[in-house]
Structure 1
Amino acid sequence: MNMEEKAESLLANAMRLGVSDIHLLPYEDHYELFFRVSTGLSKVAVYSIEKGERLISYFKFLSNMNVGERRKPQSGAVRYRLNGKKIELRLSTIANFRYQESLVIRLLYANPGFEPGLHAFFPAQEAELLELLDHKSGLVLFSGPTGSGKTTTIYHLLRRKYADEPLQIITMEDPVEIEEPLFLQAEVNEAAGITYDLLIRQCLRHHPDILVIGEIRDEETAKMVVRSALTGHLVIATIHAKESFGVLERLRELAISSEQMKQTLLAVVSQRLIAKYCPLCSGKCTIHCSHYQVNEKSAAIYEILAGKELQNHLRDKEDGKRFVSLNDKLRKAYACGYITEKHYLENLV
């Protein structure tokens, strides 16, 4: 089997298992191959130094990296079609102190319905999120760790909304992770001067029904997002924070006032993507467990701060109702037997 066939076989196996990342890591006298799935990293193969280096060189060639450069970190991307399925690969290399390269490949599934993580542990939460898209203007923010399924959730909700009525949906991302022909997708390119705030200004002239901002990173983007919501657009964006109340603090750090939040915020959603408990494996599934379909091995739990609860918090008012936090939802999922104790404890905030 030549290196091209080996790489294709590796990708086909990863796609079959719903892998999110492939890790090829160097050790003193060998390489080890790991697949990242909902339950974590799983070792799947051991290669000789020569074979590991050849495989890395092939993927570097495939993604237009400098094959001869091993000392400096590099990154690249390539679109791939395998067995009728489209996939985008995001690759990065870093060398250790011995100048042995490591390779990590992120798999971005382009086929709707194949992307893992489209399910919620509590379906009523998905219905609550869908209702947010009935608003004609306002701001909905999603937060959660990298890999928690924020983009997947947003696209899933938008597809459901589009199925009800055709809409002008514009997304701005860095980079575009999921290709969707129903939406107008723009990509940030800071090297070319195409920033989030510039794209937002231009996209508003297209009169979108829904505007999606990949990530609020700085004050300028935050101000443009709020301005867009104030001018009568429904805006959905992601932002880094541990939980919903942390999102509000993060907005204040980005110079967004409480009054602006009161005027624009519809909801703040914090989410986690967690592997489902498999009773047939007693919660100790291997990467080859087939008791769930590939795209049903994990599901999302949401903390939704919206409506009166959100407005009361912004106004420092108490209404006597207890807010159902992410920890409460995790506790319920564990009590119902949906997740393992390990995953319950790992995701507490």
Structure 2
Amino acid sequence: MEVEEFASHMVGKAHFTGVSDIHILPEGDQLFLIYFRIGGNMVLHKSIEKDEGERLISYFKYISNMDVGERRKPQSGSANLKNDYGVCALRFSIITNFRAQETMVIRLLSQAKIQPLRTTTFFQKEVQEIERLAKYKSGLLLFSGPVGSGKTTTMYQLIRESSHRQKQQVITVEDPVEIEEPSFLQCQVNEKAGISYSTLLRSSLRHHPDVLIIGEIRDEETAKMAIRGALTGHLIMASIHAKNTLGVLSRLEELGVSKEQLHQSLLGIIYQKLIPRFCPLCQGNCHLSCPHYDMADKRAALYEVLSKEQLEQIGRHRETYTLNRTFNSLLRKATSYGYISEENCQKYQIP
């Protein structure tokens, strides 16, 4: 099989089965192993000869405009690849190990099935609270959770559902754009062209959006721009990496945001993870072979929500305040109801 045909077939199968990432990793001196990341777990897809693996990586470097001859420095790129199931947007990352062997990870940015948030969660109360917070006309709503936990999908779906009631101008600033949405004005960071997060954020705020979605708050400048937008009458939604909802407060303080700015701008913090459902018919977690759930339904979201009102309580009683519906308590509740296996209850707990 030619390398182009093999690449298209591999990406097509990954696209069809709901894979989030493809890992192409050297194994010794003679083989490359290809893994699919499914539901957070790496599953071996195929082993190929060394020369086949090197040709495959070179092909992906070529179609994503990376330097094919450069084998030492880390590189990244993106491309769209047509397969039997449609066109899949791909994001590539290459790192070379100490043996001078290239490794590649491919993130699949295929279109997620659009479903109401209330049908994709274990508990309705948290979704209702998130929907209430998203109805504010201005302020900052933050989403945290591991990579691949559905943060972008949650933000997009919140705005889709609210836009049904009233037309809104929605601008997104992302690196890269993960979900194509024709009704949004979607902007993508391009550092090589001098288009940074801060540049796009300034321009977007001048465009007077009703809602601004920021792909990730990753530095002090982006954090301050998000706060500024929230204080000047915009609804800002953004993702940020932290261990839990309270960890987001500490992370923002590390990025130079004052407690007074948080008090004036922050509407709420949401922490989420996608967790495999327990299938009572299979008596196990929903894997690819489970016939009782569609691919998009094999996992559901579990949320921990910290609202504006709770944040005010924390501000006054930070040392003694306790959150009732924590992520771990909801995880145990879902397990007792039979929604989640005992194994995954232990695996997905926040330490």
Distance 1:43 1:259 in 2: 50
Match of 2:44 in 1: 43
Aligned-pair Cα RMSD in Å: 2.4
The residue identity in structure 1 corresponding to 2:10 is L
Tell me how far 1:337 sits from its aligned partner. Answer: 1.6
Alignment of 1:332-347 (within 5 A): 332-347=333-348
Question: Structure 1 residues 286, 319: closer, same or farther in 2, change over 3 A?
Answer: closer
Distance 2:128 2:217 in 1: 25
Establish whether residue 159 from structure 1 lines up as the match of residue 176 from structure 2. Answer: no
Aligned residue in 2 for 1:93: 94
Map 1:141-160 → 2, pairs under 5 A: 141-160=142-161
- Residue equivalent to 1:228: 229
Preserved contact between residue 42 and residue 287 of structure 1 (Cα < 8 Å): no
Q: Is the 8 A contact 1:17 1:288 kept in 2?
A: no
Question: Structure 1 segments of 4 or more deviating over 6 A?
Answer: 317-321
2:241 corresponds in structure 1 to 240
Which amino acid in the other structure matches residue 24 of structure 1? I
Asked if 1:268 corresponds to 2:264, the answer is: no
Query: Structure 1 residue 23 and structure 2 residue 23: aligned?
Result: yes
Amino acid at match of 1:347: Y
Percent of pairs with identical residues = 49
Structure-2 separation of matches of 1:235 and 1:308 = 18
Residue 327 of structure 1 corresponds to which residue in structure 2? 328
Structure 2 CA distance for aligned equivalents of residues 208 and 122 of structure 1: 31
Contact 2:12 2:85 in 1 (8 A): no
Structure 2 unaligned spans of 5+: none
Q: Distance in 1 between matches of 2:206 and 2:289?
A: 49
Q: Secondary structure at the match of 1:159?
A: helix
1:84/1:49 CA distance change after superposition, 3 Å: closer
Partners of 1:109 and 1:267 in 2: how far apart? 29
Quick one: structure 1 residues 84 and 38, their matched pair in 2 at CA, closer, same or farther if it must change by over 3 Å? Answer: closer
Number of aligned residue pairs: 348
* CA distance in structure 2 between the partners assigned to 1:318 and 1:166 by the alignment: 43
Q: Residue 242 of structure 1: SS of its match in structure 2?
A: coil
Q: CA deviation at 1:197?
A: 2.6
1:219 shift after superposition: 2.1
Q: In the alignment, what sits opposite 1:65? A: 66
Displacement of 1:111 in angstroms is: 5.7
Tell me how far apart the structure 2 counterparts of residues 160 and 339 of structure 1 sit (CA, whole Å): 28
1:321 CA drift (Å):
7.9
Matching residue of 1:6: 6
Give 1:190's aligned amino acid: E
CA–CA distance in structure 1, aligned partners of residues 292 and 286 of structure 2? 9
Distance, in Å, in 1 between the alignment partners of 2:131 and 2:208 is: 22
Structure 2 vs 1, CA of residues 118 and 62 (structure 1 numbering), >3 Å: closer, same or farther?
farther
Judge conservation of contact 1:90–1:105 (CA < 8 Å) in 2.
Answer: yes
CA 118–73 in structure 1, closer or farther in 2 if over 3 Å, else same? farther
Aligned to 1:314: 315
Q: Deviations over 1:120-151 (max 9, x none)?
A: 12133223222222111111011111221111
Measured after TM superposition, the shift of residue 202 of structure 1 is 1.7
Deviations 1:22-69 (A, max 9, x none): 112111222211110115111121212222222222222222222333
CA distance in 2, matches of 1:338, 1:102: 37
Residue 79 of structure 2 corresponds to 78
Partners in 2 of 1:298 and 1:79 — Cα distance? 26
Q: C-alpha separation between the residues in 2 aligned to 1:96 and 1:321?
A: 45
Give the whole-Å Cα distance in 2 for the aligned partners of 1:248 and 1:81.
Answer: 42
Partners of 1:35 and 1:41 within 8 A in 2: yes
Aligned partners of 1:121 and 1:284: how far apart in 2?
Answer: 15
**Conserved? CA contact 1:118–1:153, under 8 Å:** no
Query: Match of 1:232, SS?
Result: coil
TM, length-normalised to structure 2? 0.91
**Per the alignment, in what secondary structure is the counterpart of residue 43 of structure 1?**
strand
What does residue 278 of structure 1 align with? 279
Ranges in structure 1 where 5+ consecutive residues have no aligned partner? none
Distance 1:48 1:284, change over 3 A: farther
Bigger mean CA offset, 82-91 vs 100-109: 82-91
TM-score scaled to structure 1, two decimals?
A: 0.92
Equivalence for 1:139? 140
Q: Is the 8 A contact 2:137 2:234 kept in 1?
A: yes
Separation (CA, whole Å) in 2 of partners of 1:327 and 1:292: 25
The question of whether the paired residues in 2 share the 8 Å contact of 1:117 and 1:296 is answered with no
- Write the deviation string for residues 215-244 of structure 1: whole angstroms up to 9, x where unpaired: 112222222211111111111111111111
